[in-house]
Amino acid sequence: MDDFISLIHQVRRCTLCAEHLPLGPKPVFQLHESARILIASQAPGRRVHETGVPFDDPSGNRLREWLGVSREKFYDSRQIAILPMGLCFPGTGKSGDFPPRPECAPAWRSELLSYLKSIRLTLLVGQYAQAYSFAKEKEESGRKPGASLTENIRAWREFWPDVVPLPHPSPRNNLWLKRNPWFMEEVIPALRERVAVILESDS
């Protein structure tokens, strides 16, 4: 536990890509060794950068609704871990926030995840989390995921019950949700049930 706490302190002091961050470095994540659900997200937005609380925005409201969990349970690090691909706000362009900084995940992700031995469900939120995670899986198992985010999510049963690929819950994806009603009809009920079973179990 002491090594894990030391690593977390080290990550929170990270300045690896500081010169590329418009608001400076401020890693935002939520981790505990006993967590059973891992949310692999993309990168903090501007509001999350300001508050220092992951998913403290409209995207978080929708994600908590998808999972069927309260805000209190969502922010219980002993149950739910939140580790973005990029830990700091990367800035905003004309079409939305920039992608997660590429330096971040290779520097910290594997080492941090090595301490999370109790994870039973990993949620891959958005294209960047899926691309990174599936690339590593392909190296290890040879299994090839779909070519697009939509294809990955349509194939959710292939990854079930340990991994669930999700679209980003941002309001920017309202059109995607409208065009893909099967997601709310098929994926979300199964996901809520899976989350409830994991969080209600004692081990």
7 C-beta neighbours (distance < 10 Å), count:
16
Q: Which two tokens stand for residue 57?
A: 């925005």
* CA–CA distance, 138 with 179 (Å, rounded to integer): 29
The residue whose two tokens read 């599936």 is: 134
Please give the CATH superfamily to which domain 27-91+98-200 belongs.
Uracil-DNA glycosylase-like domain (3.40.470.10)
Domain boundaries defined on the chain: 27-91+98-200
Task: List average pLDDT for each run of 10 residues in the chain, which is 203 residues long.
Answer: 94 97 97 98 96 97 98 98 98 91 96 98 97 76 70 96 97 97 98 97 64
Identify the pLDDT of residue 145: 60
pTM score: 0.94
* CA–CA distance, 15 with 67 (Å, rounded to integer): 33
The answer to whether 164 and 191 are in contact (CB under 8 A) is yes
- Tell me which residue of 186, 195, 169 sits closest to 61, measured CA to CA: 169
The answer to whether 31 and 77 are in contact (CB under 8 A) is yes
* CA–CA distance, 113 with 31 (Å, rounded to integer): 9
Q: Which two tokens stand for residue 39?
A: 């949310």
* Mode of pairing for the β-strands spanning 121-125 and 37-40: parallel
Q: Which residues contact 107 (CB under 8 A, 6 or more apart)?
A: 14, 16
Identify the pLDDT of residue 164: 98
Identify the pLDDT of residue 96: 87
